[in-house]
């Protein structure tokens, strides 16, 4: 993992992973809103877009499948 990916993981993906595991929907929404509104470049957003989409779907519909997929994608990102 390069420096940019490492910072992205530590500052955003790790807290999102924690919020997903704990089903803390308020925190999930806050993290997603922060990521989408902070002006991250398109290349970075594209890199984590699948994670963000699954987390968003889990937050909206509260279906376990979305949570599991988001967590699996986070694991892939780490590796």
Backbone angles phi and psi of 48, in degrees to 5: -115, 10
CB atoms inside a 10 Å sphere around CB 53: 15
Cβ burial, residue 10 (10 Å; 0-12/13-18/19+):
exposed
* Region for 41 from its dihedrals, namely left if φ exceeds 0, alpha if ψ lies in -120 to 50, beta otherwise: beta
Which pLDDT does position 3 carry in this prediction?
83
Q: Given the structure tokens 């997903």, which residue do they identify? A: 20
Give tens-digit pLDDT for 12-62. Answer: 999 999 999 999 999 999 999 999 999 899 999 999 999 999 999 999 999
Indicate the pTM of the whole model. 0.94
């Amino acid at each position: 993992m390069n420096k940019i990916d490492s910072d992205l993981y530590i500052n955003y993906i790790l807290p999102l992973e924690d919020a997903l595991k704990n089903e803390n929907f308020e925190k999930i929404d806050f993290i997603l809103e922060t990521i989408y509104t902070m002006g991250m470049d398109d290349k970075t957003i594209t890199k984590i877009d699948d994670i963000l989409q699954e987390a968003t779907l889990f937050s909206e519909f509260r279906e376990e499948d979305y949570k599991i997929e988001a967590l699996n994608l986070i694991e892939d990102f780490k590796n």
